[in-house]
Amino acid sequence: MSKRKIIIEPDPILRKVSEPLEKVDNELRKLMDDMLETMYSAPGIGLAAVQIGILKRLIVIDISKGEEKKKNPLFLINPIITSRSKDTSIYEEGCLSIPGHFAEIERPAQCHINFLDYTGKQKQLKADGLLSTCIQHEIDHLDGKLFIDYLSKLKKNMIIKKLLKQKKTQDKIVL
Ligand code: ZN
């Protein structure tokens, strides 16, 4: 496994729509392992392939953070949301591509998805709570959407401006 570089907003690639995968093979599993390592070391609870510059419909998630620390990774290949609940929930969301910024986002509380798992098997999952929010956040990435898109234009632009400033500062101190 090897760690990959996470792409930070603003970057045009984060706004592109990712392509479905045609087959699940060892090469793809290696990529998923890399994504998982990158996510764990960040640390984060979800990562979409586009965040490491690969425009494929591929997500890794592990919400089992906290006391127990037992790893429980979830690999989602070509995930499709088949239904969303009418009731909603609000979580404070962050994003590995938007470091240091958080905002409360309202989303459907539950969702059903179809996807292929690590072995390429067709699976279904009913998610609620944090997992539901996380899945929706990551699938948004596959469609070129970020959580800041749910905020007012003013708030969104303020965050992008700050990220741009941080990027410029970082560029200056690279030796
Ligand atoms: Zn994100």
> d(Cα 47, Cα 50) in Å, to the nearest integer?
8
Examine the residue annotation and report whether 27 is marked as an active-site residue of this protein: no
Where are the domains positioned within the chain?
12-171
Q: How far is CA 169 from CA 31, 163, 174, in A?
A: 31, 10, 9
Cα of 98 vs centre of ligand 1, distance in Å, is 7
In this predicted structure, what is the pLDDT of residue 175? 59
The string of pLDDT tens digits covering residues 54-92 is 999 999 999 996 556 688 999 999 999 999 999 999 999
* Sites in the chain below the pLDDT cut of 70: 65-69, 173-175
The whole-number pLDDT of residue 84 equals: 98
Class of domain 12-171: alpha beta
Give the model's pLDDT for residue 171: 72
Could you tell me the distance, in angstroms and rounded to a whole number, from the CA of residue 150 to the centre of ligand 1? 13
> Rounded to an integer, what distance in angstroms lies between the CA atom of residue 33 and that of residue 27?
10
Ligand 1 centre and the CA of 29: distance in Å?
A: 21
